[in-house]
Structure 1
Amino acid sequence: MFQVPELTPEEAKRLLEEGKDNVILLDVRTPPEHVQVRIPNSLLIPLDELRYAYANLPKDKKIIVYCRSGERSAFATYLLRHFGYEAYNLAGGILTWPYEKESGMPR
């Protein structure tokens, strides 16, 4: 298995709070999973679409990637780093996120 840099939920939350305008929170799950529950202000790009859509992401921002448990996001983080992005995997995915979550159609 490949190694990618990981952030704990605490580290990710701190990075999101400190660098609001310089951090993207990327959800690589499916659209139904995103509607069911997500971390507020996250951008949905399903893993299946990431290889086509990654070029739309700004390279001057840090990207925190999450999925349900951390496996899909680890692969996505690896892919993004391969293409020159500063990306980090959220360890344990949304299952370990103890902070605010939302559900329903995104606004």
Structure 2
Amino acid sequence: MFMNVPEVTPEEAKKMLEEEKDKVVLLDVRTPPEHFQVRIPNSMLIPLDELRYAFQNLPKDKKYIVYCRIGERSAFATYFLRQMGYEAYNLAGGILIWPYEKESGAPAKS
């Protein structure tokens, strides 16, 4: 990818989510309609155009796996988060190649 952004494959991301459950956050940087249509379960939505304001609310002691549709917007978001001092990784290929569970509709309230 461009900008030397560290990427994780879907397999690596799933392993991180399973092994470091409390330390890893899935961050969706798509639009609210895209998130409503289909998303990876338990992912947090912060659209890319809002991230520059909202990132300050994200805890710095977490690892972020950032995704979008194909991995382009999330690469920008990952680059930005890393510049701001966060540990962030771009999900290679985005949700389009995510082979695991997906959900749609309104997110369940936790």
Under TM normalisation by the shorter chain, which class is it?
over 0.9
1:10 maps to 2:11: yes
Letter in 1 for 2:7: E
1:30 maps to 2:57: no
1:43 maps to 2:59: no
CA distance in 1 between partners of 2:4 and 2:78 (Å): 10
| Aligned twin of 2:78 | 77
CA RMSD of superposed structures (Å): 0.5
* TM-score, scaled relative to structure 1: 0.99
| Aligned twin of 1:93 | 94
Q: Any stretches of 5+ residues in structure 2 without a counterpart?
A: none
Structure 1 residue 105, shift from structure 2 partner: 0.6
Superposed structure 1 runs of 4+ greater than 4 Å apart: none
Q: How many corresponding residue pairs?
A: 107
CA distance in 2 between partners of 1:13 and 1:54 (Å): 23
Structure 1 residue 3, shift from structure 2 partner: 1.3
CA distance in 2 between partners of 1:3 and 1:74 (Å): 9
